[in-house]
Amino acid sequence: GNSVTQMEGPVTLSEEAFLTINCTYTATGYPSLFWYVQYPGEGLQLLLKATKADDKGSNKGFEATYRKETTSFHLEKGSVQVSDSAVYFCALSPYNFNKFYFGSGTKLNVKP
């Protein structure tokens, strides 16, 4: 089947710290992988995506690399800001964006 597992939160970091949020997946075929972010009081929005193995998605200083051998898509940022405080969701789409599977979300708190 298809599923996404991501690390439980909350994750609390000081400003300018390095961030890693782990995400692993199980999928049939060759899925596309995504990270979505939900800022407080707002709807989900796409942060980055990768559609094939070894692709790196990046946006707003965040990066994630599609690792087929480890079935992982970990989210990283070198220096977090208070404004990065949000809930982050890892997701996959098995084929042709017909269906999406989301992880349970990881809440990030960044302290000044």
Partner 1 sequence: DTGVSQDPRHKITKRGQNVTFRCDPISEHNRLYWYRQTLGQGPEFLTYFQNEAQLEKSRLLSDRFSAERPKGSFSTLEIQRTEQGDSAMYLCASIEGRPGSTDTQYFGPGTRLTVL
Applying CB under 8 A, the residues found at the interface with partner 1 are: 4, 42-46, 89, 91, 97-105
Closest approach, Cβ 77 to partner 1, in A, equals 20
Question: Which residue carries 């000044």 as its tokens?
Answer: 112
Written as six digits, the tokens of 93 are 């789409």
Closest approach, Cβ 10 to partner 1, in A, equals 11
Question: 100 exposed, middle or buried (CB, 10 Å; 0-12, 13-18, 19+)?
Answer: middle
Which three-class secondary structure state does DSSP give residue 82?
A: helix
Using the minimum distance from each CB to partner 1, give the nearer residue, 2 or 17: 2
Closest approach, Cβ 32 to partner 1, in A, equals 8
